């Protein structure tokens, strides 16, 4: 699959313009290319309580599921930018979110060009860790 990084970055920059960021004033947009060729986007949404703030990637992953993308992994490429249109590294929480949506091979745009997510989140925790390490004696919640 050919990845149009310029279009992905343009979509991320566009949605960054709709971010709700009155506290940090750091607008962030994220655009992801799905395995079936769609582009999904998200922007950051801050909250006065700060701890409830949603990163742009949270919105993107929500949009991914809302769009009914069922491929595994669902994402093949992601571009996250600040309001100025330049790449911004996903925070740690979002790297974990992207890992579940796109896997280790997900390409993430950076200031130095696209890199696999495994470069940004080595030795990632994932679903297989849960199934392999469950305590069968622990009652289900
Ligand atoms: Zn984040």
* Ligand 1: centre distance to CA 91 (Å): 4
pLDDT in tens, 40-59: 999 999 999 989 999 999 99
- Report the predicted TM-score, pTM, of the whole model to 2 decimal places: 0.90
* Ligand 1: centre distance to CA 138 (Å): 32
- In DSSP terms, which residues pair with 75 in a beta bridge? 34
Q: How far apart are CA 51 and CA 44, in angstroms?
A: 13
DSSP assignment of 100-116: HHH-TT-EE--TT--EE
Q: How far apart are CA 122 and CA 124, in angstroms?
A: 5
Distance of CA 70 to the CA centre of its chain: 16
Backbone φ and ψ for 33, nearest 5 degrees, come out as -95, 125
Overall average pLDDT of the 66-94 stretch: 95
* Ligand 1: centre distance to CA 136 (Å): 33
Q: If we measure between CA atoms, which residue out of 56, 48, 61, 47 comes closest to residue 14?
A: 56
pLDDT in tens, 4-34: 999 999 999 999 999 999 999 999 999 999 9
Catalytic: which of 46, 57, 100, 140? 57
* Ligand 1: centre distance to CA 134 (Å): 28
Percent of the chain with pLDDT over 70: 100
Q: How far apart are CA 93 and CA 99, in angstroms?
A: 10
Q: How many residues does the chain have?
A: 141
* Ligand 1: centre distance to CA 135 (Å): 31
Is 57 an active-site residue?
yes
Q: Is the pLDDT of residue 121 over 90?
A: yes
Structural tokens at position 60: 């993107």
Q: Is the pLDDT of residue 140 over 90?
A: no
Angle between helices 92-102 and 56-66 (to 10 degrees): 20
Instruction: Tell me whether the omega of the peptide bond preceding residue 73 falls within 30 degrees of 0, making it cis.
Output: yes
């Amino acid at each position: 699959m050919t990845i149009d990084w310029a279009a992905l970055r343009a979509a991320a920059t566009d949605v960054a313009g709709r971010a709700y960021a009155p506290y940090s004033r750091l607008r962030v947009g994220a655009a992801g290319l799905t395995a079936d060729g769609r582009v999904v986007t998200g922007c950051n949404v801050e909250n006065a309580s700060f701890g409830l703030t949603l990163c742009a990637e949270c919105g993107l992953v929500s949009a991914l599921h809302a769009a009914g993308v069922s491929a595994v992994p669902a994402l093949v490429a992601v571009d996250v930018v600040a309001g100025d249109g330049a790449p911004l590294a996903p925070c740690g929480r979002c790297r974990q979110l992207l890992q579940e949506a796109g896997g280790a091979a997900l390409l993430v745009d950076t200031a130095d060009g696209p890199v696999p997510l495994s470069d940004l989140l080595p030795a990632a925790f994932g679903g297989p860790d849960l199934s392999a390490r469950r305590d069968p004696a622990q009652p289900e919640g």
